[in-house]
Structure 1
């Protein structure tokens, strides 16, 4: 049985380094289905959607437990190789295989990946895991692009090469990656590994050469369906926006649900409101009933009503959760504003010394990203923002760490450990301070809007809630009591920590979540109206 390629030291270093960096940059990284990962020695292709450039690859490298797979062979566009940059060194040191893309070469005759495919097949025959992104490119878009057939053709080629080996098998491990806000600091990420597909020359003779290309297309379509099922795959940002609002109305803020449950719930509403898909497919179903013309019209009207409601919330700068509750008295709001502002100022003061250490990092990343955005249009550059923030944040963070130790000599032996500890606690205090400040500004907006307008908006929300519940329960087959249902469902990551003892004991844990909202990021203002 093959044992796989030995793990190079540079790969181990990169995995450890970016596991730490990713945990700092993203608030929660929730990984599902690790039991589906084939063990080292079993040839495996890891296939995932691709929306966040190099960050996707780094996330998969750190999400796969080393005890299951010693390493993951990556692929990247050939134009990223051979440069005197940290990114280029990072890619090459991890054993990444360069792939030429036709869009990167004016003369298409120079695009020949035959040798590359040969290296990938050799790696698979050694028992390695190879990572491929079947979309063919990273893209800043709400939906998954049509898959290219390269993964299916690679499976066919490696099976054909080993057609006389009855014991040879190759696994296809499809993975769905969902960023709640892919480029924002302290956002959340979901990584879902699906049950693997296993192929052998005996069980899949239709994939052996000579091959009917329809079998390649069929396998590619299966990959697309499985990966799409685990993430928010939408034809437009507007549809994502409406689906997230519907999910919030159905399962309001405070519902103890895992990130995976939240993503799957949003996807369910995306499919329900995707009227164009239903129009193009007369056999489309919602739940167990066929979509009739009146139902389609009702869904279209509900989508319009939700959009109008969300537009008004965005103009006011208020989240739906503020409308869900009955309008509070002015005295109560003023008291809560005083409490929130006082707590926020206290935390800002406590975290100020540590903020001086974070300031060079924030300034460096802001400057780098600001200049990078100027290099091209949104669709071609914004998928690399997180990558730039990670790399420039890592470099500047290491400079601050080691620079602080050098400047405090001869106490460096202490500051070497105290500085990162202070920076971590500063991040915790600063997150809580920002959260309290956002609550203060939100309460202030409630005062500005006024009680009559809030009461009218509350009545409109009640009507929307009734329509959403009818759609969710009667058509989509969702549970009638979402808060009780999701609280009892499996999964460790349930959002906000409950209870004083639990909250206090886990305050210093790097796994702790203070956020109640999976859409929350570290910003002084709330994200009221953003899909990605």
Structure 2
């Protein structure tokens, strides 16, 4: 039985650095299914969707528990290696192997044989290797068709060990869902699925010479698993509409776990996708994905009409810069005025006490803003936006270290105090500043309610009531979702608080300064002065 490679000290330090940077940048990283990760010594190929460039690899390294796997061998495009940049150093220090891509070479000639041999040797030794079967990171609403490299590598590993009856290799699929992949203090869901276990005796169809249809079948199985845990649609429009439908159906905020929230959104998303496939005649009769009511055109028409009306409602909310929750709970004018005063006062107080730490954060914010702005100018959305989080992480880390070092040097006589006091002040100020921004957002939203006027607000409320009735009917009678979401998703099961949910005001206050931040209104929040109502580019 292979034991797996030992952990190099450089990998251990890099992993600690990854976890630290990710926990600062993202508000909450919820990890599900860690019990599915094969233990140390079992050859394992880890693969996930790839929408956030280097950040995806950092998330995998940081979220696989050390007691399960002490080392994850990474791969990255070869163009990231050999440069005099911090990113290049970071990649190489983590033991990452370079993969050549045809589009990166003018003549299209590549040679990955040596790298593949290293990866196969690592599997023979019981290590876990990481591959992204989409082939390249992409800012896109849907998962790209998976390449067959992972399946072919598994086939090669099985064939090399065909005479070892105890040999087993696992393909561990993972789904990564970013609420807002590039925004500071957003949230992330990481779901590890049950591994696909392969052995020479149980899977002779994968032994060389192998029928290529078996490779395609295994790849399709991987695609299905990865897609089942994240949001996958042909357009950003469907993402927007499905999220709105989920918020209307279960407006629970963070009382609902992030995993449950994503699964509810995905349920609506898949239904809207099927309806559009029916309308376009792209769904074959008798398909496994075909709903029971597929022959009833009125059902499809009803779903498409609901989708259209949700989009119109969402566009109206975006125009006013409001969230559905503000329309759901009508407030009297005097209550709005009172809350405006309270929110504005609280925002000013929190901003005042966080100001010393905010001054320390200012150089970091400026350096990151300039770096991201220049990078965006280097290419179109589809080729640059998947690397924005990576740039923010790297430049934020470099500038943060610079601020800390400078602060310690400038206070050298009392450096033994500032060496730890500066990080503490920066963290406390970040927490206070987050709440100040949240209070200011609430102030702005309430002011917009006043500006909207009673008549228009009443019309939106009527529209919302009609949509709520239709969404609930669709969710319960067609999709099979619980009829009492408030009860179903807030009661949950034991241990749900470990999956991102924040239960009630006591938990919110007791964990005020924890890395799992304050109780949010919903999982759609980021550190912005305005509500994140609509964060999707035009479809392309």
Structure-1-length-normalised TM-score = 0.97
Deviation at 1:286, TM superposition (A): 6.7
Deviation at 1:460, TM superposition (A): 1.0
Q: SS of the counterpart of 1:112? A: coil
- Are residues 255 and 515 of structure 1, via their aligned partners in 2, closer, same or farther at CA, if it must alter by over 3 Å? closer
Q: SS of the counterpart of 1:375? A: coil
Aligned to 2:179: 180
Deviation at 1:215, TM superposition (A): 0.3
- From 504, 509, 518, give the equivalent of 2:509: 504
C-alpha separation between the residues in 2 aligned to 1:38 and 1:291? 43
Moved more, 505-514 or 63-72: 505-514
Q: SS of the counterpart of 2:504? A: coil
Q: SS of the counterpart of 1:172? A: strand
Q: SS of the counterpart of 1:3? A: coil
- Are residues 183 and 254 of structure 1, via their aligned partners in 2, closer, same or farther at CA, if it must alter by over 3 Å? closer
Aligned to 2:125: 126
C-alpha separation between the residues in 1 aligned to 2:399 and 2:211? 53
- Are residues 256 and 531 of structure 1, via their aligned partners in 2, closer, same or farther at CA, if it must alter by over 3 Å? farther
Deviation at 1:287, TM superposition (A): 5.9
C-alpha separation between the residues in 1 aligned to 2:316 and 2:344? 26
Aligned to 1:88: 88
Aligned to 1:196: 195
C-alpha separation between the residues in 2 aligned to 1:515 and 1:383? 26
1:317 counterpart = 2:317: no
Matched ranges for 1:277-426 at <5 A: 277-278=277-278, 279-281=281-283, 282-283=285-286, 285=289, 288-290=292-294, 292-326=296-330, 328-426=331-429
Matched ranges for 1:4-403 at <5 A: 4-109=4-109, 111-254=110-253, 256-274=255-273, 275-278=275-278, 279-281=281-283, 282-283=285-286, 285=289, 288-290=292-294, 292-326=296-330, 328-403=331-406
Deviation at 1:496, TM superposition (A): 4.4
C-alpha separation between the residues in 2 aligned to 1:287 and 1:430? 48
Deviation at 1:511, TM superposition (A): 2.2
CA contact under 8 A between 1:25 and 1:186: conserved in structure 2?
A: yes
Deviation at 1:527, TM superposition (A): 1.1
Deviation at 1:107, TM superposition (A): 1.0
1:450 counterpart = 2:449: no
Deviation at 1:516, TM superposition (A): 2.1
C-alpha separation between the residues in 2 aligned to 1:330 and 1:138? 48
Deviation at 1:479, TM superposition (A): 0.2
Give the total of aligned pairs.
Answer: 529
C-alpha separation between the residues in 2 aligned to 1:350 and 1:497? 27
C-alpha separation between the residues in 2 aligned to 1:242 and 1:283? 27
Aligned to 1:522: 527
C-alpha separation between the residues in 1 aligned to 2:257 and 2:504? 14
C-alpha separation between the residues in 1 aligned to 2:271 and 2:503? 32
C-alpha separation between the residues in 2 aligned to 1:288 and 1:8? 54
Deviation at 1:499, TM superposition (A): 2.7
CA contact under 8 A between 2:254 and 2:522: conserved in structure 1?
A: no
Structure 1, residues 348-382: CA drift from partner, whole Å, max 9, x if none? 00000100000010001001111111111110011
Structure 1, residues 436-489: CA drift from partner, whole Å, max 9, x if none? 000000000000001111111111111111110111000100000101100111
Structure 1, residues 310-334: CA drift from partner, whole Å, max 9, x if none? 11111111111111123x2222111
Moved more, 481-490 or 42-51: 481-490
Q: SS of the counterpart of 1:142? A: coil
Structure 2: segments with no counterpart, 5+ residues: none
C-alpha separation between the residues in 2 aligned to 1:469 and 1:440? 30
Deviation at 1:262, TM superposition (A): 0.7
Deviation at 1:253, TM superposition (A): 4.1
Deviation at 1:7, TM superposition (A): 1.1
CA contact under 8 A between 1:347 and 1:430: conserved in structure 2?
A: yes
C-alpha separation between the residues in 2 aligned to 1:223 and 1:89? 32
Deviation at 1:283, TM superposition (A): 3.4
C-alpha separation between the residues in 2 aligned to 1:203 and 1:495? 40
CA contact under 8 A between 2:97 and 2:115: conserved in structure 1?
A: yes
C-alpha separation between the residues in 2 aligned to 1:253 and 1:14? 37
Deviation at 1:255, TM superposition (A): 6.4
Deviation at 1:69, TM superposition (A): 0.4
Structure 1: segments with no counterpart, 5+ residues: none
CA contact under 8 A between 1:40 and 1:128: conserved in structure 2?
A: yes
Deviation at 1:288, TM superposition (A): 5.0
Structure 1, residues 500-526: CA drift from partner, whole Å, max 9, x if none? 4x3332112222333121011000011
C-alpha separation between the residues in 1 aligned to 2:286 and 2:308? 24
Structure 1, residues 262-321: CA drift from partner, whole Å, max 9, x if none? 111111111111133344113355765435211111111111111111111111111111
CA contact under 8 A between 1:50 and 1:56: conserved in structure 2?
A: yes
CA contact under 8 A between 1:163 and 1:201: conserved in structure 2?
A: yes
Deviation at 1:6, TM superposition (A): 1.5
- State the Cα RMSD in Å: 1.3
CA contact under 8 A between 1:287 and 1:477: conserved in structure 2?
A: no
- Are residues 291 and 455 of structure 1, via their aligned partners in 2, closer, same or farther at CA, if it must alter by over 3 Å? farther
Moved more, 240-249 or 315-324: 315-324
Structure-2-length-normalised TM-score = 0.96
Aligned to 2:474: 471
C-alpha separation between the residues in 1 aligned to 2:266 and 2:28? 20
Q: SS of the counterpart of 1:174? A: strand
Q: SS of the counterpart of 2:397? A: helix
CA contact under 8 A between 2:254 and 2:520: conserved in structure 1?
A: no
Aligned to 1:435: 438
C-alpha separation between the residues in 2 aligned to 1:180 and 1:20? 20
C-alpha separation between the residues in 2 aligned to 1:487 and 1:286? 31
Q: SS of the counterpart of 1:499? A: helix
CA contact under 8 A between 2:243 and 2:265: conserved in structure 1?
A: yes
